[in-house]
Each structure stands twice: as C-alpha cells, then as structure tokens.
Chain A
Amino acid sequence: MSILVNKNTRLLVQGITGRDGSFHTSKMKEYGTNIVAGVSPGKGGQTVDGIPVFNTVEAAVKATGANTSIIFVPAPLAGDAIMEAGEAGVELVICISEGVPTLDMVKATAYLKKKGIKLIGANCPGLITPEEALVGILPGNIFKKGNIGLMSRSGTLTYLMVSLLTQADLGQSTCVGIGGDPVAGLYYQELLQMFQDDPETDAIVLIGEIGGEAEERAAQYIKEHVTKPVVAFIAGQSAPPGKRMGHAGAIISSGSGTAEEKIAAFEAVGVPVARLPIEIPQLIKKLLKIN
C-alpha cells in the first residue's frame, strides 16, 4: 500500500527537456520510478533518457496511460501546467516549481478540486514511497522502506529528519513534502487521513513551520480523526516576528502562527513535539514501544 505513489505509478514529466526536469528525470528513473512520458511544447517526437516527449499532456496521457504528472516548468508557467495536467485527466499532480504567483495557485487548485484530482505543491520537493517510486527531487539514498509516514512543509529539513529516522532503523512508508506556499494542494488533514487509512503506516511524523494556522488545524484534526501515534517538529522556534524566512508561508503575523502556539496546540491534543530534530526517532520509538 503506502499512499499516493507506488509501483503502479505511471509518471509523466512536464518540462522534461529543461535543466532541472532532465536532471531529476534521470535521478527518478535511476531510483526505479516508472516514467512513461515527458511533455515539452514544441519538442514532441524527441526522447530524453529514452523517454518519449509529447507536445501536450493530453497526447502523452493518451499514448502512455500516464496517471501522475510532475511539473518542473518555470514559475510563471506553472499554474497553467497544473491545469493542463488536470484537464488531461491524470490522478495526481506534483508541482516542484518555486515562486508561483499566489493567484495562479488559487485558480489552479480550484480547477483541480472541481476535477477531483489531487495536487501536491507547488514549491515542494515531491514525495517518495521507498523502494517503489520517487516522484520529486528528494535524495533517494537516505530513505528506507518501513512503517513511518512523514509529511513536511520544508524540503531539506525533511532530508535531515529522514536520515535521522533511517539511522535509527525507522523506515518510511511514504514521505510527502507539501510545500511552504500560502496556497498549496494537499495539506496536513488530507495526508493525515491517508496515513490513518494506510495499513502499512504505523506512526506519523509531521514537520511544520511558523506562519499560518495549518498546524493548529492539523492538531484539531488529529484529535478528532487520527488514532495512530503522531509526533511533530516545528521549525522557526527562534525566528523573529514579521520576517519572511524564504517561504512565503513562514510569516508570523500579529500573535498567530508562532512556533510556541503551534507546539502548544499539538501538545494539547497529546501529540509530542520534538524541540530538536534529533529527538524525533526517540519519540517515535517510545510511542511504538520499540527499544
């Protein structure tokens, strides 16, 4: 099982001929992801790494049966690329592009919702089901198959957490980077429910950061719907108020969105919060009663 991506994923890469698109296509392929097509308008008929390139997502889906699309196009074009994937009828869209205008995301998320298609990102590192499918820019070698589900608003902090888990012999079912933008696709609630329903996931790690109130909502959702153990970490405990720390989402505004408030929200519903990344594996082992 696992969630969202697995051995049955048939991946399409939008922006496959670009610098980042072609580099990560080869990395994902090397990991064993089943990449069936690429799209790059005007470059249909070419191949990249032996993968056929199409002019439109619709043509690619028709010819290859792709069910998942990953997007590497420049930010000004990303909103449109998301909608193109949605219109062509894939089941899941992952947008890696960073710096997408918020109103483009408002439009794109509304369209995908109407079509019943799942979106992850934008401005995210993608996701991985270890030993089955890597759909994103995560470094595959730090992951290990197992029963811990992980979701995070940050990229490299996820890598740090995963390597700590792997070192502690805690493998992962699926790890999802949801991205740090104000308007994004799947968020904590949806993923918590998916992990809750996934028989291969026994515990959940939630990595949040300052800004917004998504962590507070997640805490409430956990209280009402999640019976599996959850542990959390919040980045930005030392951030000064009102400064943007690289993620548009990480803005502390007038008394809401601070690390303190988020930590309190989780602890109030019985979710332990690590103060240092290194405490995460110990907290999980304690909850799962592993020595």
Chain B
Amino acid sequence: MKIHEYQSKEIFSRYAIPVTKEIVCYSADEVCAATEKLGLPVVVKAQVLTGGRGKAGGVKLARTLDAAREAANQILGMDIKGYTVEKVLVAQGVKFNSEFYVGLTIDRNTKSVILMASKEGGVEIEEVAKDNPDAILKFPIDPDLGMTPFFARKIAFALFDDFSLVKQAADLFQKLYKIFLETDASLVEINPLVLTDEGKLLALDGKMTFDDNALYRQPGIEALNEPTEDEKKEIAAHESGLTYIRLEGNIGCMVNGAGLAMASMDVIKHYGGNPANFLDIGGSSSPKKVIDAMNLLLSDKNVKVIMINIFGGITRCDDVARGLVSALDQMKVDIPIVIRLSGTNAEEGLKIIKDYNLPTVNSLSEAAQEAIRLVNLPN
C-alpha cells in the first residue's frame, strides 16, 4: 500500500525527523492562503500515488503569490500517469547546498532490512543506480541487533566528514529504522535529504509503502489508503478470496494459483491472443468463489470469451465445476466458455461439466488456441 508524500512526512515528524514546513491544499485559494502563512518562496507539489511527478510538471517553485496561484491552477486536476491530481502540498522553499539519498527496504537476498544511502541524491537517483551503482552504499541490518548506534554512525561516516552532521545522520537512520519496523513498511525513502545553508539535515521529500500482509495490525496506516477505481475492484475481489487485475485484452481468464495464472496469460499471448485480466481464484475454492469470479469476469464488457484453467491441488475440480454450473444457472452468460480441468477430482468435475453440455479441452495450449479461435469468429 502506498501513501502520499505529505502523509509520509507526517509520520517522519511524529518521530522527530526534520521536514519542510508545509500545508496540504485542495484549491488555488487554499494554496494562496498557505503561501501567505509559510512565506515566499514556496514549492507547490502534486500529491499523487505514483512516481515521476517532477518530470510530469507536477512540482513548481513559486517566488510570488501570483506564481503560487498559477502553479496551483496548473497542477490541480492534472493527469500524471493516469492519476488525477486532487491535492497539492505547499512547502516552504529551503536553501540548501547538497542533496543526499536515504532509503530503507527489504533485501530478498540477505533476508533483512537494508539501508541504502548516496551522496548523489535528487531526481536522478534511478540513473545513478543504473550507471554508477557503487555510488549507492548498501548496509543490510542484522535483525537481531537492529540499527545500533555504532552501525548508524558507521553509515553516517561513509557520507559525512563533519562530526556534527555524522551525529544528525546517525540519529536520522535510527529513527527511520524504527519507523520501518513500527509501521510494517516495505519502503521508507527520503530523496532528497538536503543539507541546508544552516547546516541542518532536512527531509525535502518522503515516500513510504507498506506490507499489505501486515495491514491487519496497522489500522492507523490502513486508514490512509486511497484506492483508485480499479484498485477498489481488486480489493473487493480480494475480500471474496480472489486476486483480480484488469488488463486490456478480450479473453477473460479464471485460474487457480498466481504462477499458473501468469503462465496461462503467457500461453494466450504466445498464440496471439490477449488476456483481459489476471484472476487467481486461490486454493480451497468453494462454488461461491467461482460464482463471484464469473461475475467479475462478466463485469468487464471487453471480455468476449472465458477461459477456465484449473489444476486441482487444494482446489477441487468438482467444486469448481459445481460453482460454474450454478453460476450459469443464475446468470445470463451469452459468451462462450473454454474449460480445462486437471488434478484433484478432475474426473468428477469433468463429468459435471459434460452433463451440463459444456465442452472441455485437455491441455492449456488447446484451451488458449480454442479461446483465440472463438474470439476471432465473425459475429
């Protein structure tokens, strides 16, 4: 789960990490009022749950009140990668002489939280990662020890010579690690962390994402969630035990298991078709799940054919078949369905399907090719 920059910085503030003085605004009038309160210059920043705001023109410096209003008018309502900007952050302009990068995330390889830091902070950090990976220092944190003072100092000494800055940075790293653990984060990032003309380290920007598996014990974080329309559909699906992601194609897929669902999409693509979605109905499926899944597939008007690929493990093929039959009894389905069942209780499942006069196929390749053939039939 992602949150906005201003929300991340509110969390930073709670842990006494210095951030810019700033106010969230929803209209140009509010931006003007905020500017008067904070004093010029200000930076007006789009608050959207995606990266690349700066390059999209969603961040503007304003040296006059009129410029602040103009920036607000330009940014509010702007589209950034499919997200409409509904609020902006007005932040006090800060004079600084250098920019750093600090980020904490999970490192799959060392199986620990890792702190990454660089003297080359700023918008081009991804370029730095690609072109000069050595400029990004990486410190895996021993989960038993945590971010001890000596470890935090060690990282800080790698970035700064001045001992007063080392002390500030070490303190910051300890706080960031504490935030990471206490909020079940999957990313905590400050880019840039700036050294102000007054010799202070300050978070000019902030970004946090969270572990979805841990939201059940983070009610305060979950309350910040702002799902998009597509995400709302995905969340509703998740609540009925389904994982659904809408795509652009016309072959609706219903599969059990994420890997098999991806492989099914791959096979459809391989034969020249286009999957309309990723839909994993998960393990231990009940007939009700299949009905929910059918409803979800049929709610997408692009879907011209449904391909069902089940390999029973925990999922029992007869449950899927029964669910499908009762779904077809309850709803009007006027598009063709291609069914492939295999694994646990496949024979019983296939019999149910056959008794209902629905055709079945024997392999994934066959299913994909048949679905594509049906999509391409003239109406």
Taking Cβ atoms with an 8 Å cutoff, the residues of A that contact B are 20, 24, 75-76, 99-107, 109-110, 113-114, 125, 137-139, 142, 152-160, 163, 180, 182-183, 207, 209-210, 212-214, 217, 233, 235-240, 243-250, 254-255, 259, 275-278
**Given A106-B106, A235-B266, is A156 in contact with B143 using a C-beta cutoff of 8 Å?**
no
B283 in the interface, Cβ–Cβ < 8 Å? Answer: yes
Which of B10-18, B307-315, B349-357 lies on the face that meets chain A?
B307-315
Q: Which residues of B contact A237 (CB under 8 A)?
A: 266, 269-270
Q: Which residues of B contact A249 (CB under 8 A)?
A: 108
A214 to B143, CA, bound (A): 21
**Given A102-B106, A102-B211, A183-B106, is A209 in contact with B262 using a C-beta cutoff of 8 Å?**
yes
**Given A103-B211, A125-B313, is A182 in contact with B108 using a C-beta cutoff of 8 Å?**
yes
A277 to B264, CA, bound (A): 10
Partner of A217 from the list B109, B259, B267, B363 (CB cut-off 8 Å) is B109
> Do A246 and B278 touch across chains, with their CB atoms under 8 A apart?
yes
> Do A139 and B344 touch across chains, with their CB atoms under 8 A apart?
yes
B358 in the interface, Cβ–Cβ < 8 Å? Answer: no
B280-330 contacts to A (CB < 8 Å): 280, 283-284, 311-315
- What range describes how many residues of B lie at the interface? 35 or more
> Do A277 and B263 touch across chains, with their CB atoms under 8 A apart?
yes
Nearest CB of A to B178, in Å: 12
A249 to B112, CA, bound (A): 15
> Do A76 and B217 touch across chains, with their CB atoms under 8 A apart?
yes
Nearest CB of B to A191, in Å: 15
B177-218 contacts to A (CB < 8 Å): 181, 184, 186, 211-214, 216-217
A109 to B112, CA, bound (A): 9
B256 in the interface, Cβ–Cβ < 8 Å? Answer: yes
> Do A155 and B257 touch across chains, with their CB atoms under 8 A apart?
yes
**How does the 8 Å CB contact mask read for B98-121 relative to A, with 1 for contact and 0 for none?**
000000001011011100000000
A23 to B356, CA, bound (A): 30
If A159-B342, A160-B260 are given as contacts, then 9 extra A-B residue pairs at C-beta distance below 8 Å, sorted by A number, are: A76-B217, A101-B211, A102-B214, A154-B259, A159-B312, A159-B313, A237-B270, A244-B245, A250-B258
Taking Cβ atoms with an 8 Å cutoff, the residues of B that contact A are 106, 108-109, 111-113, 126, 130, 142-144, 181, 184, 186, 211-214, 216-217, 243, 245, 247, 255-263, 265-270, 275, 278, 280, 283-284, 311-315, 342-344, 363-365
Sample 5 A-B pairs with CB under 8 A, ordered by A number: A103-B214, A163-B343, A210-B262, A235-B260, A239-B262
Partner of B108 from the list A107, A183, A233, A246 (CB cut-off 8 Å) is A183
Q: Which residues of A contact B266 (CB under 8 A)?
A: 235-238, 259, 275-276
Q: Which residues of A contact B111 (CB under 8 A)?
A: 105-106, 109-110, 113, 183
Partner of B284 from the list A20, A154, A278 (CB cut-off 8 Å) is A20
Partner of A245 from the list B108, B245, B256, B315 (CB cut-off 8 Å) is B245
Q: Which residues of B contact A109 (CB under 8 A)?
A: 111
A291 to B259, CA, bound (A): 30
> Do A137 and B243 touch across chains, with their CB atoms under 8 A apart?
no
Q: Which residues of B contact A214 (CB under 8 A)?
A: 108-109
Nearest CB of B to A90, in Å: 20
